[in-house]
Chain A
Amino acid sequence: MLSRVADSIYWLNRYVERAENVARFVDVNLNLLLDAPPGMEQQWEPLVRTTGDQALFKARYEDASAENILRFLTFDREYPNSIISCLRSARENARSVREIISSEMWEQVNSFYLMVNEAADGGLLSELHNFFPEVKMASHLFAGVMDATMAHTEGWHFGQLGRLLERADKTARILDVKYYILLPSVTDVGSPLDDLQWIALLKSASAYEMYRKCQYRITPRGVTEFLILNREFPRSIQFCLIEAERSLHQISGTSMGTWRTGSDRALGRLRSELDYLTIDEITQRGLHEFLDDLQTRLNTVGKQVFSDFFALEPASLP
């Protein structure tokens, strides 16, 4: 498979997943605010901090009002990680590999793009409560269509790899939103308000029902453990790492548990560390520090994938 083609399928999936997750972590905040007691200060700035793009935001907007932040994250065409920009990039990548992916995939990403554009042209931020669920559903549709219509060969595995690495990263960020929001008032821990916030967080990761089935009581410890270490829930970080590693080994042809390329090694090492970590060890180290480090290492995996498969240079140039 051409490196450029693999790269495009990988990024097509990353961008679709990214759009979905931006929708998710904006949604978590909207939900939290709905349940917040009147008079409590609105917390929007943490959203920008979790994207890591504060500098970009500050350069483009004067104050961190709810409206500015929502516009930045959803419909800002100049900001490369806004929902609308993600869809534009996803569609461009899809267009460049149309003869490789299935036409159903192309149609789905195309209508997803058109839907977001239409919403942007409408421009009503008050409609956003309906918009975010639509974005999530369109992303699920895309993943389902790809699973059901594209041969599960190398290209498909590159797509999976992109989607799962992106999802692991974004689940970490969604958890971090909660961290930032709690930070100013540690005294709230354990209060009914705190409980509501954890429920909202689970719901935003579509994890609430699945969590109930295996844990009953909602505790900070239980929720973080579920979203980081659970091996069966498809949005938990460890699940993403396990499946990403499976796809990576299908691509590289190396057997599981061994490594040949830098990406095999970086991803395998991260996954196996999480295999033996407990949630108590994570909280001892500090949840935020742990998530921060995890994101850095996921970036390293991404860079390794790039240099192992996409950025090939010949030994001798003419």
Chain B
Amino acid sequence: MLFDAYDPGDFFDELFLSQGQPRPEAELLVRRVNVMSLVELQQRQKAVQNALFKLGVTFNVYSDNQGTERIFPFDVIPRIVPGHEWEWIEKGLKQRIYAINCFIHDVYNDQKILNDGVIPRHVVESAPGFLKPCMGLNPPNNIWCHITGTDLVRDKEGTWYVLEDNMRCPSGVSYVLENRRVMKNTFPHLFAAMDIAAVDDYASQLLETLLNLVPETLINPRVAVLTPGMYNSAYFEHSFLAQQIGAELVEGRDLVVSDGYLKMRTTKGLERVDVVYRRIDDDFIDPLAFRSDSLLGVPGLMEVYRAGRVAIANALGTGVADDKLIYAYVPQMIRYYLDEDQLIPNVPTYLCEDATQQAHVLDHLDQLVVKATNASGGYGMLVGPHATAEERAEFGDRIRANPRGYIAQPTLCLSRVPTLIDGSFEGCHVDLRPYILYGQDVYVNPGGLTRVALQRGSLVVNSSQGGGSKDTWVVKSIDPNAKLPIQFGGVSV
């Protein structure tokens, strides 16, 4: 009875109400795991890790100059989200995407929200992600954020919050798809007995989202995934997605602007590219329009894009909404554009550019999480309670020197999921990144990537910072009489 000793403790646990008392949606899983021996579970865990390594589900680490790939650690115990809760999350995410998309279109065109004073003009204009060359752009169907991976967290009470919107190039969806594939082999009977939402249509939905960007009159449009190259930490994912949707995987050096169109160099000459799913940040995409030192982009691409001769997902300029200061204004956007109340709340955010709030932040650095407004991936942040006095002092100086560059949030006590570590279950903190596509309508892939902090007590779940992942099961309905179809060791479970 592996779970008997597991104590959820004084945390919100995603699988247990209290010690020995699983949540209704997790009951079958707990029963199944309880009839397994530790050795058997560990063997399965190892088999899954091996399968992922063999499939090459790996990532590169920037600081690692060996250029070696590592497997993203994977834990066999899934995280479960009950169906009714998921419906609400899906609604909340859609609302958010609609509003943020309206906002991006607005700030690059009429700027009504700024003129009406709902968001201070300087907040947008000082955002590094706000790109002047994108003013007046009209992407197809006025959609800017085609692919989003919003980070959600839950606190000690189980309240859901949006932690950040990742509008530029959110990664991780390949892990969702591959994790699910290996999990189906690990717990086939559970998948048969439980009503777990499938995730496999992501690739088709992604392709449709991209094809939605070309006019219907264009026959045989060519879709390409633009990668910075194989030394990028998410290269596996770029290659995987290109393969799954049948697109070309291209690097900047494969592309060239010629006769007013974007073309790729093939063995049969130059061939036109109609849609680019770019996995390169805005600043790097065209050295003529943005960073002139970029070797990853394509000179002249911006001009082709402005002329509407190539579609790019996400639209250039979308990064403005990733700014953590602008994030603080999303409730206002939802009210302004949709006339609705925000469903999933933001994490309460202190704006360091405001003198009073800054003073509060500086006084409470030991309790707060401080984040650089233009960083992501767990870089450029301070987790106050876990930091040393020197680190806090250094961040205090940084905040005073550049108040616009920082926000602060309370340190949330993230919810936990039991995780197999060194032969026993430990509660580990998790977040959740669902993947959202905006094509003809908004599609939310059920579940998403559950990232787990594998270092004891750690709150940082990023893959670049030693995190791992879990499969996420959205259990649509619970059948109280559901039985596992196979007997295990003579015990019917």
Contacts and interface: CB of A to CB of B under 8 A. Distances in A.
Interface of A: 1-4, 6, 92, 95-96, 98-99, 103, 106-107, 154, 158, 251, 309-310, 312, 314-318
20 contacts: A1-B266, A1-B268, A3-B265, A4-B265, A6-B267, A92-B230, A98-B56, A99-B239, A99-B242, A99-B243, A103-B55, A103-B56, A158-B267, A310-B267, A312-B269, A314-B256, A314-B258, A315-B258, A316-B258, A318-B303
B46 interface: no
B299 interface: yes
B251 to A, nearest CB: 7
B370 interface: no
Nearest to B67: A92
Contact of B264 (A2, A99, A251): A2
A2 B258 contact: no
Contacts of B266: 1-3, 312
B253 interface: yes
Nearest to B243: A99
Contacts of B414: none
B54 interface: yes
Nearest to B55: A103
Contacts of A309: 267
Given A99-B240, A312-B270, A317 B256 contact: yes
Contacts of B267: 1-3, 6, 154, 158, 251, 309-310
B250 interface: yes
Contact of A2 (B229, B240, B265, B300): B265
A318 B257 contact: yes
Interface in B15-72: 54-56
Given A95-B230, A314-B256, 14 more contacts: A1-B267, A2-B264, A3-B266, A4-B253, A92-B230, A96-B229, A96-B230, A99-B249, A309-B267, A317-B256, A317-B257, A317-B258, A318-B299, A318-B303
Contact of B270 (A96, A99, A158, A314): A314
A154 B250 CA distance: 18
B56 A106 contact: yes
Contacts of A316: 258-259
B contact patch SS:
mixed
B483 interface: no
A284 to B, nearest CB: 41
B189 interface: no
Contacts of B257: 317-318
The 7 closest A-B pairs by CB, nearest first: A318-B300, A314-B258, A99-B243, A312-B265, A3-B265, A99-B239, A309-B267
B254 A4 contact: yes
A2 B242 CA distance: 14
Interface in B417-445: none
A234 to B, nearest CB: 26
Interface string B212-255: 00000000000000000110000000011011000011110110
Most buried by B among A158, A312, A317: A312
Contacts of A154: 267
Nearest to B263: A314
Contacts of A92: 230
Nearest to A110: B56
A77 B223 CA distance: 39
A317 B400 CA distance: 47
A107 B55 CA distance: 9
A277 B365 CA distance: 84
A104 to B, nearest CB: 11
A112 B303 CA distance: 46
B243 A2 contact: no
A314 B258 CA distance: 6
A93 to B, nearest CB: 10
Nearest to A93: B230
A251 B266 CA distance: 12
A88 B253 CA distance: 22
B264 to A, nearest CB: 6
Most buried by B among A1, A158, A251, A310: A1
A188 B423 CA distance: 70
Contacts of B270: 312, 314
Nearest to A95: B230
A317 to B, nearest CB: 7
Contacts of A96: 229-230
Nearest to A252: B267
Contact of B54 (A2, A107, A317): A107
Nearest to A154: B267
A8 to B, nearest CB: 10
B64 to A, nearest CB: 15
Interface string B374-409: 000000000000000000000000000000000000
Contacts of A318: 257-258, 288, 299-300, 303
A92 to B, nearest CB: 7
